[in-house]
Amino acid sequence: MSEPTRVQLSAPSALIAAIPAVLGFIPERSIILIAFADPATVAVTMRYDLDRGPRGFITDELLGTLDHLADICQREQIHHLVAVIVDDRLPRWADEYTDVFVAADKAMRKSGGITTGFLTETIDFGAQWFIGWSSDPEQAGRSGIIDDPATNPVAVASAVTGDRSPLRRRSELREALTPRPHCETPNCPTGATGPAHLPRTDAEIATEVAWLRTLVADRGGALDDCTNAVRAANALRHKYIRDCMFALADQPELLANAGEVWQRLACELRGEAQAAAATLLAHLHYLRGNGAMAAICLDSAIAAKPGYQMAELLDTALRNGMPPQGVAQAMADTGKSLVAELGDAIPVGG
């Protein structure tokens, strides 16, 4: 689910073109629900993978997700919604897309239902959209051409504030976390998922926290050495040390470096250490309002270590539409408190 985006949009071509900038990526094979605070202002945008099962698109998982999104709409007091299906398989299952719109309308009934359902193969400049479902019979059959997603008001506003990087497709975002070997060394120990050699005393913990912070400040250069990569893995598997690293989210001078280091470790480590690195990276994206990348990082963390509690906590918060100032900021504050408890061995705030 996206953060509220209050930019005036008045036409379907502009509305659909704004979706990538609002979500933070270009959706593929998705249903997107756009909720309005008033007839012309987008308040919340929610996306869900449109997977086709043996009996079509209407699966128990889809229905459960629609009910969950309906609860969010009720909580946010939304009373005007449209749906957009983006699917390169159009028009192969045209009738089934209508069934999806009907299911969405039924789920959102307490929030006024779905007023219009748009269909498009892709959200690119010049692609065609058309109305596949509408509560107003006179709207049936309308179509148009999508505006340039790169120059719509939401994209321009995001570029000005620096809140968004260049738009990529969701599949490309996933590639950024594709697991890869740490090095070409046969049997490199960074892939080991057995018992960790965890620090035990406060002094040992403080040493590892300070070392990780130095590692981040140096943009992870020391990670080229297998021994240092294993040391980072062991440190991140220690939950107290991992939680201390959440404090880096409130240190602007280290944010970019932390993102690079956590992403590298999320790709090169395995098991619990990989889950920890991916969760730390998700936390950074969550606080910056990039829910799309945060969700992908959390998927990676849970895949690396099923049941990983911190990833599940963040994932639940994200799916429930909690703003970054809630649980994610609380995690950063907790990290700072833990660092402070370790004493003068760990510099705080600089």
Backbone phi, psi, residue 22, to 5°: -70, -45
Tokens 């969010």 map to which residue? Answer: 72
- Answer yes or no: pTM beyond 0.85: no
**What one-character DSSP code corresponds to residue 166?**
P
pLDDT given at position 65: 87
Q: Residues with Cβ < 8 Å from 138, sequence gap 6 or more?
A: none
To 10 degrees, what angle do helices 271-287 and 291-304 make?
Answer: 170
Mean pLDDT throughout 309-338? 87
Q: What CA–CA distances, in Å, run from 113 to 80, 82, 106, 131, 159? A: 7, 8, 7, 16, 33
Domain covering 12-170 in this structure, CATH number? 3.40.140
pLDDT given at position 23: 82
Q: What CA–CA distances, in Å, run from 333 to 9, 106, 132, 246, 310? A: 37, 41, 47, 8, 15
How many angstroms separate the CA atoms of 190 and 181, rounded? 8
CA geometry: angle 212, 259, 262, nearest 5 deg: 55
Q: Is 264 helix (H, G, I), strand (E, B) or coil?
A: helix
Q: What CA–CA distances, in Å, run from 36 to 33, 129, 222, 252? A: 10, 20, 49, 33
- Whether the ω angle into residue 347 lies within 30 degrees of 0, i.e. cis, is no
Mean pLDDT throughout 194-220? 88
Burial label for 68, CB within 10 Å (0-12, 13-18, 19+), is middle
Mean pLDDT throughout 41-69? 86
- Residue 1 pLDDT exceeds 70: no
Lowest mean pLDDT among 73-82, 114-123, 254-263: 73-82
pLDDT given at position 166: 52
Above pLDDT 90, what percent of the chain?
A: 47
- Domain residue ranges in the chain: 12-170, 176-341
Average pLDDT, the chain: 85
